[in-house]
Structure 1
Amino acid sequence: MGKKFKIVMAVFLVIALSIGGVLGYYDAKLEASVTPKGNLSKVDVGDDVKFDNDVVNILLVGSDRRSDETEAGRSDSSMIATINMKTKELKLTSLMRDMYVDIPGHGRNKLNSAYSFGGVDLLYKTIAQNFDIKIDKYCVVDFSTFEKVINEVGGIEIDLEEKEADYLNTTNYISKKKYRNVKAGKHILNGNQALGYSRIRYVSNSRYGDGEFGRTGRQRAVLEATYKKIIRQNPMKILDIGFNALDDVSTDMNASYIKGLVTSVVQFGVPKVQQMRIPIEGTYMQGRAQSGMFVFFINFDANKAAMEHFIFSKGKEEDFASKFGGYQNIETYGYPAKPDSEDASESSPGSYKR
Structure 2
Amino acid sequence: MTDRDFDLLDLDREPPEDDPADEAPARPHRRRRRVLLVLGTLVLVVLVGVGGFIGYLGWRVDSNVTQAELLPTVPPPSTAPDGTPIQVPTSGNGTNFLVVGADSRGKNDRGRADVIVLVHVPADPTTIQMIHFPRDLFVDIPGHGKNKINASYAFGGEPLLVETIQNLVGIKIDHVARTDFNGFKDMTDAVGGVRVYAEEGNDASGNGGAAIRKGWNDLDGTQALAFVRERYELSQGDISRGRRQLAFVKALLLKATSKETVTNPLAVARFADAATKNLVVDKGLSIGTMKDYALALRGIRGSDVVFATAPFTGFGTDPNAGSIDIVDTKGMKLLGEALRKDQMDGYLDVFQTP
TM-score (norm. length: structure 1): 0.72
Alignment of 1:179-258 (within 5 A): 180=211, 182-204=212-234, 210-232=236-258, 233-234=261-262, 236=265, 237-252=267-282, 253-258=285-290
Unpaired runs of 5+ residues, structure 2, are 1-45, 79-85
The CA distance in 2 between the partners of 1:215 and 1:294, in whole Å, is 15
Q: Which residue of 2 aligns with 1:32?
A: 63
Q: Which residue of 2 aligns with 1:272?
A: 304
Q: Secondary structure at the match of 2:197?
A: strand
The CA distance in 1 between the partners of 2:47 and 2:122, in whole Å, is 29
Q: Match for 1:289 among 318, 322, 347?
A: 318
Alignment of 1:3-18 (within 5 A): none
Change (3 A) 1:48 1:68: same
Q: Match for 2:169 among 131, 147, 159?
A: 131
Q: Which residue of 2 aligns with 1:82?
A: 120
The CA distance in 2 between the partners of 1:18 and 1:88, in whole Å, is 33
Alignment of 1:309-324 (within 5 A): 309=338, 312-314=341-343, 317=346
Per the TM alignment, residue 212 of structure 1 is displaced from its structure 2 partner at its CA by 1.9
Letter in 1 for 2:228: S
Q: Secondary structure at the match of 2:115?
A: strand
Per the TM alignment, residue 105 of structure 1 is displaced from its structure 2 partner at its CA by 0.9
The CA distance in 1 between the partners of 2:133 and 2:292, in whole Å, is 27
Q: Secondary structure at the match of 2:250?
A: helix
Unpaired runs of 5+ residues, structure 1, are 1-14, 322-354
Deviates more, 1:105-114 or 1:227-236: 227-236
The CA distance in 1 between the partners of 2:301 and 2:206, in whole Å, is 37
Alignment of 1:327-346 (within 5 A): none
Q: Secondary structure at the match of 2:192?
A: coil
Q: Secondary structure at the match of 2:95?
A: strand
The CA distance in 2 between the partners of 1:17 and 1:91, in whole Å, is 39
Runs of 4+ in 1 over 4 A off after TM superposition: 15-19, 50-54, 318-321
| CA deviation map 1:252-280 (0-9, x unaligned) | 23211221122222233444311111125
| Preserved contact between residue 35 and residue 254 of structure 1 (Cα < 8 Å) | no
The CA distance in 1 between the partners of 2:347 and 2:56, in whole Å, is 50
Q: Which residue of 1 aligns with 2:102?
A: 63
Letter in 1 for 2:68: K
The CA distance in 1 between the partners of 2:133 and 2:143, in whole Å, is 21
The CA distance in 2 between the partners of 1:93 and 1:59, in whole Å, is 10
| Preserved contact between residue 50 and residue 308 of structure 1 (Cα < 8 Å) | no
Q: Secondary structure at the match of 1:135?
A: coil
Q: Secondary structure at the match of 1:187?
A: strand
Alignment of 1:143-162 (within 5 A): 143-160=181-198
The CA distance in 2 between the partners of 1:148 and 1:315, in whole Å, is 32
Q: Secondary structure at the match of 1:58?
A: strand
Percent identity for Structure 1 against Structure 2: 25
Alignment of 1:301-316 (within 5 A): 301-309=330-338, 312-314=341-343
**How many residues in Structure 1 have an aligned counterpart in Structure 2?**
291
Q: Match for 1:174 among 185, 193, 208?
A: 208
- Aligned CA RMSD, in angstroms, stands at 3.0
Q: Which residue of 2 aligns with 1:23?
A: 54
Q: Which residue of 2 aligns with 1:352?
A: none
The CA distance in 2 between the partners of 1:63 and 1:285, in whole Å, is 25
